[in-house]
Amino acid sequence: MEPQNSPAATEATAYGHVPGAVSVRLAVDSPEQMRALGRRLAAALRPGDLVMLTGELGAGKTTLTRGLGEGLGVRGAVTSPTFVIARVHPPLSGGPALVHVDAYRLGGGLDEMEDLDLDVSLPESVVVVEWGDGKVEELSDDRLQVFIDRAVGDTDDERRTVTLVGVGARWAGLRNDSWAPWG
């Protein structure tokens, strides 16, 4: 995985997010590298962090979350919560729990997600929401948005472009050299 140059304001605006957000773009060449990215991101996460994952079906959102779970040291296998909507993975030691949400089947915004009590879980957990765009932004002014894309016409099924967009003061220090080298 090699960091790729990405002008922060342009990248954030291209994804329709707040001006001034900072971003990093990475090339990920395999599921193993996607998990390694998750482990690396986990080292930067703390209780109260909201991570939103966006990508097509099969893009690698759950694979990235598996790496987050490994890096956070949580209990239980991290699998897609599609049919249960949310899974809570308690920490094995003193770290934060991982709350893994799949909002794919949920239609509305935060109102429809209130039953999940994410606002209650957020302060002591790391909350990761797949398909959360337009649904959970109100949970926190600070969030890390992760976009996972396959290049159009790319014949390599494993190569992905991952764009990390840090929104808010919490992520102001996000920069390319924070994420290299991998592995």
Residue 84: domain span = 3-178
What's the whole-model pTM score?
Answer: 0.81
Residue 17 belongs to a domain? yes
Q: What is the DSSP letter of 158?
A: S
Q: How far is CA 104 from CA 82, 86, 168, in A?
A: 7, 11, 25
- C-alpha–C-alpha distance, residues 90 and 25, integer Å: 30
Residue 155 belongs to a domain? yes
For 105-118, how does the pLDDT look when each residue is reduced to its tens digit (9 = 90+)?
A: 666 655 555 555 56
Instruction: Look at residue 178 in the predicted model and tell me its pLDDT.
Output: 60
Residue 183 belongs to a domain? no
Mode of pairing for the β-strands spanning 97-102 and 86-89: antiparallel
Q: How far is CA 105 from CA 82, 130, 135, 145, in A?
A: 8, 11, 11, 19
- C-alpha–C-alpha distance, residues 20 and 15, integer Å: 12
Instruction: Look at residue 180 in the predicted model and tell me its pLDDT.
Output: 46
Instruction: Evaluate if residue 65 carries a pLDDT over 90.
Output: yes
Q: Write the CATH number for 123.
A: 3.40.50.300
Q: Compare 58 and 21 and report the one with higher pLDDT.
A: 58
